[in-house]
Structure formats: structure tokens, C-alpha cells
Amino acid sequence: MLLISDTVEVGGAKGPAHKPIFPPSPVELWNPEAFTKGPPMDAFAQMRKASPIAWMSEPEERPGFWALTRHEDVMRVNADYETFSSQRGGILMSHQRSEMQLARASLDTMINMDAPLHMQLRREHMPYFTPAYLRGLTDRVEGEVTRLLDAMAKQGRVDLVQAVSAHLPLFTLCEILGVPVEDRPKFLTWMHFLELANSFAAERSGGGGGLESAAAEVPPEMKAFLDAFTASIQEMFDYGRHMLHKRRLDPQADLMSAIAMAQVDGDLLADEYLDGSWLLIVFAGNDTTRNTISGAMQLLSQFPEEKAKLIAKPELMPNAVNEFIRMISPVIYMRRTATRDVEVAGQQIAEGEKVIMYYGSANRDAAVFADPDRLDVTRANADKHIAFGYGPHTCIGKR
């Protein structure tokens, strides 16, 4: 099986091939600075009304992209996987050819695959997420929550992010993977450097130059940090390969074994795809949950009347979780690449052009969610959010 990191399209012709029918965006969505205070919800609201499919020019030689902000259009593109490819250009805004293991692993993973390989690999993982296993996992997670809350109660005023948000998702992830207890502290260090890599690459390269160009621009005074970063990331990948190959020899009832034993077209995954699978579960499986926990607590402080409802009626919590996820939308965007000329909401999109779906905007669409900027733990259609994506690429951990 060819590596996506070797075949992914980079660059492309400056667009758009067809004249935009909607006004330009009021904000440069390619620029990370537009998100320094959170997603630009005011701009998204304007775009949903006036520019639901807006052409976004990018700097330098980057080709530009179509920005989709309405729930209906994001659903449509997610569902039409034949017209809108995850694999052709990857799911991130921009890529560069790179020999860096971290950059390559971010591409060589299931989330960047198209059918039929994507569905083959997805089916290999699905049997692991059984109701019986999830019930047992729930019991263990509830026990850890109790332990964390008891510790917080003894401290008085605490930093929730450090006390809970940074620990609980990693505990859950390690339980799912079957990571030995003595190895778990390493994950905190790895996550620290992965977070820094993500923000550093975006800041240094305007969201499109990639890790390699960002690293090349590091000033001398940051060399010590870069050396520590490189060593930590290498340790993470070495550990992942070691554990996955160990599971191939001795499979266990855990997700790590499911990844290790997964096959596509009858063959076990190459080491490069093991790296990608490992990175995806370690980073994506932790980062989004951590941010959702912190964001939910922030929302409850902003909407004290909704907090009072939950205290009075704890049975509202399952619906409230969907509402938290809708409001927070921890995955900011996903990219697709058009495989043919196509029309979306009256706008012609040319084959090969990038399409960026903004989940946070779609989940604040007043056409679907009444009073969308208000937290409502009793919202009847809170589960209609698409924070987990939609269609074949719906997040496999949604359950």
C-alpha cells in the first residue's frame, strides 16, 4: 500500500477557477491569528448569512480554498466522499513534502484515507468498541474521576485544566490502549511537545508551511528546546512501534492490539502506518477531550442558570454533553479536495480545489439551532451537532 505522505498533493494552481458568487470573508481564515481568542464566531455568523461558501486567498504560492460555514453544506461535503477526497490533499489546510517523521505520520493514517482502504481499516477497529468493553471502561473512568475530585476538594481553589482536563483524557486513553501504569507519565510529556509543535508550526508558517519550515526558522536561543522536542517525539514513536509490535506477538483485549493486528487487503500495516495510527490516537484522542472538559466548565461559568439546571436535574447530563460539544466544537476544521467539478449551494467548485469545512460555525447555524450562541442543556436537537464529523469519516471514538 502506497504511503499517503508520498502521494499527497501539495500546492496546486492558484484559484479560483470559477468566479465566487458570494462576497469575500470578513476575516483571513488561513491566518492563525484569527483564532488567538477562540474561533471568530462573529465573522462566522456574517459568513453564514452573506458568504456561506467564500473563496479564501492564501499568501505566497498557496492556492487558496473554499470556506464552508453552514451546517447544511458541511453535511453535504462530508457525506459525498467520492466527490470530496480526504486522501488527495489530506485533511489539513496545507502540506509540504517532508522527511520529518512527525509530519509524515500525520498523513499516513486512517483519517486521511479514501474508500475502499478507509472503510477496510475502520472495520478492523470497530469490533473493539463493544458495549461490554465500554461499560467496563466507564466504571474505571468514573473511579478516576472520583479520585481526582476528592484530591481537588482537599486543595480548595485549583486549576481545573491541570487538575482534571490534562489528566483524565490521558488516563482514559491509556486504559483504552492498555498502556502499563509505569509508562503513563511519559504521555504527559509527549502531549506537551505535540501541543507546542502544533501551535509553533502554525505560528511560524502562517498555518501552511509545515513543521519542517517552522523548525528551520528556529532562532539559536531555541535550539535547546528543539533538541528536547525532537528527542521526546522520537521517544514517542519508538515506544509506539515497540508496543504495537509487541501486541502482534501477544495480542490483548485493547485498542493497541486492534491497531497492531489491523489488515488492509490482507496485509498488516507497514511501520509508517503504525506511526500514523499511534500519532492519531495519542494526539487526537486526547487533545479534543481535554479541550472539551475545560470548555464545558467555562460555559457553565458563563451560563450559571444552565449550571443550576444540571445540579437540580443530573439526568440532563447526557444531553448537556452534546450541547457542550456543539458549543465548543474542539475540531476547528476539516479539509477535503474536490475530485471533479461540482456545485455546492450554487457555487461552482473546480476539480482539485481545496474545500475547508468549519465545524464550529456549522454548529452555531441558526437554521438548525435556535439561539445558537446560548448554552441550553435542555436543547432538543443538541445531538444534531457535527463536531465528530459526518458520514464515513465520523469520529470512530464518538461512542
What's the pLDDT score for residue 253?
84
In a domain, 116, yes or no: yes
In a domain, 1, yes or no: no
- Cα dihedral 359→362→368→369 (10° resolution): 70
Handedness of CA 270, 338, 39, 381 (dihedral sign): negative
CATH of the domain at 358: 1.10.630.10
In a domain, 6, yes or no: no
Residue matched to cell numbers 501477544: 250
In a domain, 132, yes or no: yes
Query: Per residue in 23-82, pLDDT tens?
Result: 999 999 999 999 999 999 999 999 999 999 999 999 988 999 999 999 999 999 999 999
Tally the domains of the chain.
Answer: 1
What's the pLDDT score for residue 203?
56
Provide the CA 9 distance to its chain's centre, in angstroms. 21
In a domain, 57, yes or no: yes
Handedness of CA 319, 324, 329, 330 (dihedral sign): negative
What's the pLDDT score for residue 205?
46
For residue 146, count CB atoms less than 10 angstroms from its CB and return exposed for 0-12, middle for 13-18, buried for 19 or more: exposed
Range of the domain at 359: 16-343+350-393
What's the pLDDT score for residue 113?
97
In a domain, 8, yes or no: no
| Grid cell of 62 as nine digits | 498557496
pLDDT beneath 70: ranges in the chain: 198-218, 221, 399
Report the predicted TM-score, pTM, of the whole model to 2 decimal places.
0.93
In a domain, 141, yes or no: yes
In a domain, 270, yes or no: yes
**Residue 197 CA neighbour count, 13 Å, CB half:** 25
Name the residue type at position 158.
V
